[in-house]
Amino acid sequence: MTHKRTPKRKAAIAASSVVVIGAAAVLLPHANASQDGASDPPTPRTLKAQDASVLATRVARDLGAAFAGSYYDEGERQLVVNVAGYDDRLVDRAEKAGAAVREVDNSTAELMSAARTLRSEATIPGTSWAVDPRTNKLRVTADSTVTGERWDVLESTVQRLGHGMATLKKSSGTFKTFLSGGDAIFAGEARCSVGFNVTANDGTPAFLTAGHCGEVGEQWSETLGDAPVATVEQSVFPGTGDHALVKYDDPGTQAPSEVDLGDRTVPITQAADAVVGQPVFRMGSTTGLFDGQVLGLNATVNYPEGTVTGLIQTDVCAEPGDSGGSLFTREGHAVGLTSGGSGDCTAGGETFFQPVTTALAEVGATLGTGGDGGAGEGDQGAAGGGAGADGDASGADGPPQADRY
C-alpha cells in the first residue's frame, strides 16, 4: 500500500529556544568548584535532541530518587536535569556526564503522588495532566467542555495539591481522538493514518497505528470501499496506552521503515523516547506535515471514551483522520503515534501521542523489516508510515524541507 498524497498545508519549521525555568528552580554550580575559581565547572555538552534523550536516560539511572525530570534546551543545545534534594556527589556525577543541573523543590515521587490525586478525585472528561520538568510542576489542562461544577472540582483539586505543584489552564478546543471519514486507511467509513511499519514477533509485516482506530474496525483497506489489506492483531484503548498492531494480510508485503511525505520519504532508523523541549514532526493523512515540540511526558488524558495514561504531550496540531500518524525527529527516529487532543491546524492546540518505544515493547514488534531497526527494502504495498514516492530524505543535519508543502 503506497500513499502519495501531497500534504495540504506547510509546516513552519521554526523551533524556538526552550529557556523557561520555574520560579522554584535554581541552577547549581559545580559541586567541586573552588570558592576562588581555581577549579572551573564542567561545561555542559552540546547535544542534538535525540542524544539528549539518551543522556537523560543515563543520568536518571545514576541519580535514582533524586532525579526530578529533564528537558532539552534547544537554544543552548543542552540537557537540563532537575535534582530534588541537593547532593554534591550526585550533582558532580550528572555534570561530568555532560548535563546542566538545577535544584528543584518537587521530586518525581511527589509529582507522581499529585498525579494520582488528580486521577482519584478529578478524572473528568476533557481534562489532562502531564509532568512539565521545565516548571517542575504538573501541567493540568481542561478543554472547553469543563465548566460549572466540573471546573470547580478540578480547580479545587489542583489547589489542594499545594502551592507550586501544578498549573491549570483552559483550552479553547475539545479533547477528542482524531478519527474521521476520508482517504488514508479505512475501516468502513472510519479513517485513520498509519504510524510506522514494523515486523511482528512472528516475522510478518505489520504497522502501528492508534488503538482507538483498532477498536473501530478489525479490517482496514487502502481506499474507501476497497477490499481489506490488513487486520488488527492487538489493540489497547482506553487504559495504559493508545496503540494497535495491524498485520498485512499478504505476508509478502514490503514494509520499509520510512515516513511518506508525499513527494519523498524520510528513513526511520530507530525508535526513541521523547524528551521535553525536543523539536518533533508529525505526519498525518488529513493535514500532512507539521512541527512543534514536546511539552510533557507520562500524560494522562480523559477522553469521552475513557482515560488513557502514559502519553506524550506536544503543541503540534492535528485534525480528524490524523489518528495513528507518525511523530518523528529530524534524525529519523520514531517517537510517537497520534492519539488525540484539542484544536486544529488553524487555531492550534494540544496533541497527545502514544510513545513508540512502549508500543513496540508491548506488542513485541521491531521497526521495519528486521530487528536492527533500519529501513526496509522495496516500495510496494506499505502503508502511510512506509513506502511512498521516491525522493531525497532528510538527514541528521536538518529537518524535512517542510516549506515545500
Q: Hey, is 75 helix, strand or coil?
A: coil
Task: For residue 50, give the nearest of 281, 289, 351, 313 by alpha carbon.
Answer: 281
E-assigned strand segments in 122-216: 127-132, 137-142, 166-170, 176-177, 185-187, 190-192, 196-199, 205-209
323 as an active site residue: the answer is yes
Contact call for residues 52 and 275 (beta carbons, < 8 A) = yes
**Long-range contact pairs involving 160-163 (C-beta distance under 8 Å, separation at least 24):** 160/117, 161/114, 161/117, 161/118
Contact call for residues 138 and 111 (beta carbons, < 8 A) = yes
Contact call for residues 290 and 8 (beta carbons, < 8 A) = no
Q: Pick the catalytic residue from 73, 132, 212, 326.
A: 212
Task: For residue 104, give the nearest of 136, 78, 73, 132 by alpha carbon.
Answer: 136
Q: Pick the catalytic residue from 105, 132, 143, 242.
A: 242
Cα separation, 8 vs 305, in Å, equals 29
Contact call for residues 216 and 242 (beta carbons, < 8 A) = no
Q: Pick the catalytic residue from 53, 107, 285, 323.
A: 323
Residue 279 gets the label, from left (phi > 0), alpha (psi -120 to 50) or beta, of: beta
Cell of residue 138, nine digits: 504538573
Residue matched to cell numbers 499478504: 250
State the DSSP string of 43-58: PPPP--HHHHHHHHHH
333 as an active site residue: the answer is no
Question: What residues are paired with 130 via a beta bridge?
Answer: 139
Q: Hey, is 19 helix, strand or coil?
A: coil
Q: DSSP assignment, residue 64?
A: G
Cα separation, 179 vs 176, in Å, equals 9
Cell of residue 266, nine digits: 524520510
Catalytic center residues: 212, 242, 323
